[in-house]
A and B are shown apart, each in its own frame.
Chain A
Amino acid sequence: MEKIRIDIHYCGGCNPDYDRTSLVTEIKQALYGHCTFDDGVGPADWILMIHGCPTACASMENLPLDRCVTIRRPADASLFVEGIRTDDTARFKSLRDHT
């Protein structure tokens, strides 16, 4: 089975509420075997926007919004991980609302 491709984008981290890089490490560990990260091979299935706070100010210019997933807090990452693991992307539908 082909692995799901995930790209990681960060906000600039001016005043983060949590350690963003540690959270990404946890996501990678949780999805080990299911996904590849930043492999640079073709377009990613999901683009994780890792924001340090609810302001979520990282630029999404030129990114395909339908594949962007906004992580504002560690709980959002849990939602995403569960959705990928169970192949139920509706679980993190709220994280894909960029309006």
Chain B
Amino acid sequence: MTMMTAAQYEESLRKLDLVVYMFGERIENVVDNPIIRPSMNAVAMTYELAHKPEYLDLMTATSHLTGERINRFTHIHQCREDLVKKSKMGRLLGRKTGCCFQRCVGMDALNALSIVTYDMDQALGTEYNPRFLAYLETVQRGDLVCDGAMTDPKGDRSLPPHKQPDPDMFLRVVEKTAEGIVVRGAKAHQTGAVNSHEIIVMPTLTMREADGDYAVSFALPADAKGITYIMGRQSCDTRKMESGKLDQGNIRFGGHEALVVFDDVFVPWDRVFMCGETDFSGVLVEKFASYHRQSYACKVGVGDVLIGAAQTAAEFNGAERASHIRDKIIEMNQLNETLYCGCIACAAEGAAEPSGTYCVQTLLANVHKQNVTRFPYEISRLAQDIAGGLMVTLPSEADYRSETVGPLIEKYFRTREGVSTEARMRILRLIENLTLGTAAVGYLTESMHGAGSPQAQRIMIARQVNMDEKKRAAQHLCGIEEADGKNQD
């Protein structure tokens, strides 16, 4: 099997024996749980589109290992075009699902490891890269979803891992044997964790020598013994348990995050990709972060949906020709397409690493993600402005279906001729969903903190810009070098 269908993906999840808790109870049937199910639907879309002729140019690629056609989410970027297509794929899927489709993080982990395992082997004489490539082939042949797990709970932020009062605040190696390692700790905010076949763990920050036990990277089956998932809550999540769908806004798709706990979990050596090489922990973090900051191309697609919803709401209200409404829609588009510029630019300016893997241009990837921490909020503000207060004061679907008060809602929330009250309710609920409901987790707060909080990008921007060259350009133009008697080119 090289590319699974959406149905095969769903069946493959049913075979996993995950330990998942939500609302204090163990979830026995994860796939059919009404709160989790929409997130599974979103991942399934990455499989569905890969089989459609009109999407396969973006959704698939040719494996550099096997030469076979594979889902792009398991691909190692072989050229700039691959990087550009990754950005476009993100926009496509964001538009198709209106939410986080969860699969990019694993792709980014695979690509980062393809670079860093090679670099480690070259510098240290280790044999991580062949191990990794064997693992990658398993992922590609199985068309697996990988959760890329980086963020540790981190405890007291002023202390390094080895000085934490509780040493488990960062995931670490607690035992090494001839067969493998035993790890303990947790990874927080894990997007799509319970929809994944595999979990790929990476260190969360640059480790110093004293933190060698924390410089660890490995992959495990998602249902490995000792792993527990505790689902995160989302605003308005229990609407998914109601009988009607209308109040969900997005009636089919969603996302999820989980806290993933590793309680003395065994990892065989053939799945270990870093173990104590502290000098390379920072590079792995940086490469993964750069790829993942590019991955926020998906928010452009979600932005497309929100802009479309705002325009629809304006038209339903009969307000679409008002100059201020038109101007706000233009503003939303300008912001959204600026985001698109960033994710395309960092891909188009990407370059080959010694391993042969192409990586995005780090500065531009960070600039892109920094924009993502801001623009979706402004786009959401404008959408709420256009939608009007009804998006948060609207009665429930149950009231709308009620024989007693339903006709009153039908009468008083009707707008222009040809627009049903139900259609108006649906579009307003979608805007609510995207800007303050379950999807706002992905569109807003994930945009803020996912792939690193805003300050992380600002640090990288400061590191990456070539300030000496900027100063030289300025000083050359105003004649400072000439006045100092230096040569000018």
Contacts and interface: CB of A to CB of B under 8 A. Distances in A.
Interface of B, secondary structure class, is helix
13 contacts: A9-B57, A10-B53, A10-B55, A10-B56, A12-B55, A12-B88, A13-B55, A13-B92, A14-B58, A21-B54, A57-B81, A58-B57, A59-B57
A50 B53 CA distance: 11
Nearest to A24: B54
B231 to A, nearest CB: 31
Contact of A14 (B53, B56, B81, B91): B91
Contacts of B89: 12, 14
Interface in B74-121: 81, 84-85, 88-89, 91-92, 95
Nearest to A11: B57
Contacts of B84: 57
A76 to B, nearest CB: 17
A15 interface: yes
Nearest to A59: B57
A-B complex: 9 closest residue pairs judged by Cβ atoms: A12-B58, A14-B88, A12-B57, A10-B54, A14-B92, A14-B91, A58-B57, A11-B57, A21-B54
Interface of A: 8-15, 20-21, 50, 57-59
Nearest to A49: B57
A18 to B, nearest CB: 12
Contacts of A21: 54
Contacts of A15: 88, 91-92, 95, 304, 340
B54 A20 contact: yes
Contacts of B56: 10, 12
Nearest to A12: B58
B302 interface: no
A93 to B, nearest CB: 25
Interface of A, secondary structure class, is loop
B425 interface: no
A59 B60 CA distance: 11
A58 to B, nearest CB: 5
B85 A12 contact: yes
A12 B53 contact: no
B262 to A, nearest CB: 37
A8 B52 CA distance: 12
Contacts of B340: 15
A13 B93 CA distance: 10
A9 B56 CA distance: 9
A97 B105 CA distance: 39
B54 A13 contact: yes
A15 B88 CA distance: 8
B338 to A, nearest CB: 14
A58 B85 CA distance: 9
B306 to A, nearest CB: 15
A68 to B, nearest CB: 14
B329 interface: no
Interface string B288-314: 000000000000010010000000000
B349 to A, nearest CB: 16
A75 B304 CA distance: 25
Among B53, B91, B340, which residue has the most Cβ atoms of chain A within 10 A?
A: B53
B59 A12 contact: yes
A13 B50 CA distance: 12
Nearest to A14: B88
Contacts of A10: 53-57
A17 to B, nearest CB: 13
A96 B304 CA distance: 32
Contacts of A14: 58, 88-89, 91-92, 95, 301
Interface in B8-53: 53
B59 to A, nearest CB: 7
Among B56, B57, B301, which residue has the most Cβ atoms of chain A within 10 A?
A: B57
A21 to B, nearest CB: 5
Contacts of A20: 54
Contacts of B55: 10, 12-13
B58 A13 contact: yes
Contacts of A13: 54-55, 58, 92
Contacts of B301: 14
A45 to B, nearest CB: 19
Given A13-B92, A15-B304, 12 more contacts: A9-B53, A10-B57, A11-B58, A12-B55, A12-B85, A12-B89, A13-B58, A14-B92, A15-B92, A21-B54, A50-B54, A57-B85
Among B58, B91, B301, which residue has the most Cβ atoms of chain A within 10 A?
A: B58
Contacts of A58: 57
A58 B53 CA distance: 12
A59 B301 CA distance: 22
Contacts of B59: 12
A95 B348 CA distance: 26
Contacts of A59: 57, 81
Contacts of B54: 10, 13, 20-21, 50
